Amino acid sequence: MDGRWIVAYKVVDLSSKQLVLERDFELDKDIQNTPLLAGGEYNITIFLDVDLTAAYANLTLSVNLNHASNIDRYWEIHTTELNLTEDYNPNEAEFKFRQIEGRYSVSTFGRIPSDRTVTDLGHGESLHKPVSHRFIQLTGPDGSLLDEIALTVIDSEIDGYRYYLGQRQADLEGYLVTQVDPAFTGLFESLIALAEVQAEAGFVGTAQSILESIDIDIPPIRTEATFQEKYFLPAVGGLGALAVILGALFFRANGRLSFTRMIVEDQIRELEGLTLRASRTDRNLGQKLQEINDKLKEMEEN
């Protein structure tokens, strides 16, 4: 709390009117119901605590949002005692007020830029990464930053990936406490890890596709022999193990793997594109994916 001017704030989705998040630094209250999405429109209400009067000093409150589609202003002042300067315009992205001791409430309305989380790579490729967006800033007479609200913004693609990641992680937790074959569990965990690497690099579409591909109805159960022993799979870990699972059509109840040339060929094509994209941002990852692709080609030829 020490040194804070913005002592609390809440964010409401302008479309649904639902509370997105609320934070109160005095009460140590922190509620977040949904993520903030690029392209979304929000109402942010802040509560200011000015604990010292310096009537000669003008403070500036600014918002870093585009105009909301159905609201003709940025600002709404709830506390009439806030001593605004004469040039106050609610339709401008910033306004000034005199530093008079007191507690004040102000709302702002706006839309997060829809491309805030996207980096265009050209040739139809783009990265989607969470970003920390500065929504509101309070600055002093000399332009120094006194306080701010900076929040993480994602987009619908990242949100979709996170949904599937949560589903697969829940599946994995279930596999670890049941009789699912440990070799299968290891491969499943490695594929989740690959999806996380792809998402961290910004390739969330690829990451989601990986997670969707391992939505298994009935995983293989360990009996006398392990899944690894039954199918003569080498004891490999990490990304190398994915060459095996990427060639699988599906896992049936008795743990059998059904391989088809069509699936292997599809995976090779997808992995070639993935390798090309990954090599642009992470050479080591690109090399590892190329090794997996080479193994898939060997499987296709055998």
pLDDT tens per residue across span 73-92? 999 999 999 999 999 999 99
What was the pLDDT predicted at 215? 86
Torsion of CA 34, 35, 41, 44, to 10 degrees: 80
Question: What tokens were used for 228?
Answer: 């690894």
Contact 129, 202 (CB under 8 A): yes
Question: What tokens were used for 50?
Answer: 């000015």
Which residues of the chain are in CATH 2.60.40 domains?
6-154
The residue type found at 69 is S
Instruction: Work out whether strand 145-154 and strand 36-37 pair parallel, antiparallel, or are unpaired.
Output: parallel
Buried b (16+ CB within 10 A) or exposed e, 45-69: bbbbbbeeeeeeebbbbbbbbeebe
Comparing C-alpha atoms, which of 93, 108, 111, 109 is closest to residue 41? 111
Angle at 264 between CA 259 and CA 266, to 5 degrees: 135
Name the fold adopted by 6-154: Immunoglobulin-like (2.60.40)
Comparing C-alpha atoms, which of 21, 22, 25 is closest to residue 5? 25
The residue type found at 97 is F
What was the pLDDT predicted at 185? 86
What was the pLDDT predicted at 240? 46
Contact 64, 134 (CB under 8 A): yes
Question: What tokens were used for 225?
Answer: 């022999």
Helices (H), the chain: 156-176, 182-201, 204-213, 227-230, 242-245, 261-281, 283-301
Distance CA 140, CA 59 (A): 5
Distance CA 183, CA 172 (A): 12
What was the pLDDT predicted at 281? 53
Distance CA 145, CA 105 (A): 19
By the 10 Å C-beta count (0-12 exposed, 13-18 middle, 19+ buried), 7 is classed as middle
- Reduced 3-state DSSP string for 92-105: CCEEEEEECCEEEE
Radius of gyration of the chain (CA): 26
Distance CA 47, CA 234 (A): 61
- For tokens 């002042």, name the residue: 77
Around 116, how many Cα atoms within 13 Å sit in the side-chain half-sphere? 25
Distance CA 10, CA 22 (A): 4
In the DSSP assignment, the letter for residue 238 is: G
Instruction: Work out whether strand 75-77 and strand 248-251 pair parallel, antiparallel, or are unpaired.
Output: unpaired
- CA distances to 13, 41, 286 from 68, rounded to whole Å, are 11, 6, 41
Which stretches of the chain score pLDDT less than 70? 1-2, 223-302
What was the pLDDT predicted at 256? 27
